[in-house]
Amino acid sequence: MTARKLPGLGAVVGAGLAIALALVAVPSLAAPRSQKAPPLDNGGLVFAELPPQELAPGQCALFLWARTTPARRFLMATQNPASARVSLDGRTLDVPLTAWDGEAVYGLHEIQTFSGDGITLTVRFSAEERKGLVGGLVAPNATVEYRDAAGWETVIPAAGMIACQPG
């Protein structure tokens, strides 16, 4: 049995090696070495836990807890004012609603986008009634897509509820 050489294989390997060397030698074509994803704190959650929140009479809000262990309340979205509250980098931010889609439940749309302070949050949830729960709904399935000013995006699985303060 004789070994055969594939014609031109040496040229292909040589060309691949030349391209790899060029990428290393030309920093503008390679990814910056200092670029890193932002660190995640709080058990993998970029947001700090929100303390208990008070609603004005007649106001409704969507409260979301991250599906972490332990679960942490990290977002409150309200319809009036139309904004989302989060705690990021030691600051509590009220980010204004900039787009929405889907059915409105207690004035809160199933898909909401909040933008401001260098971040964008896209909240998606489904709500359902639960026996014994008065003045609200549960949101067993939700996600929050968080995009920071550098363009990094984190998707946070969540669950929560919509609660209304009697007015």
Residue of 160, 164, 158 lying closest to 138 (CA atoms)? 160
Mean pLDDT of successive 10-residue stretches along the chain, which has 167 residues = 46 40 38 46 75 94 95 96 95 97 95 97 97 92 96 96 93
Tokens (6 digits) for 135: 């003045």
Q: Are 32 and 46 in contact (CB under 8 A)?
A: no
pLDDT for residue 45: 73
Q: What is the pTM of this model?
A: 0.74
d(CA 93, CA 48): 11
Q: Are 71 and 62 in contact (CB under 8 A)?
A: no
d(CA 41, CA 117): 20
Q: Residue 107 — left, alpha, or beta (φ > 0 → left; ψ -120 to 50 → alpha)?
A: left
Domain locations in the chain?
60-164
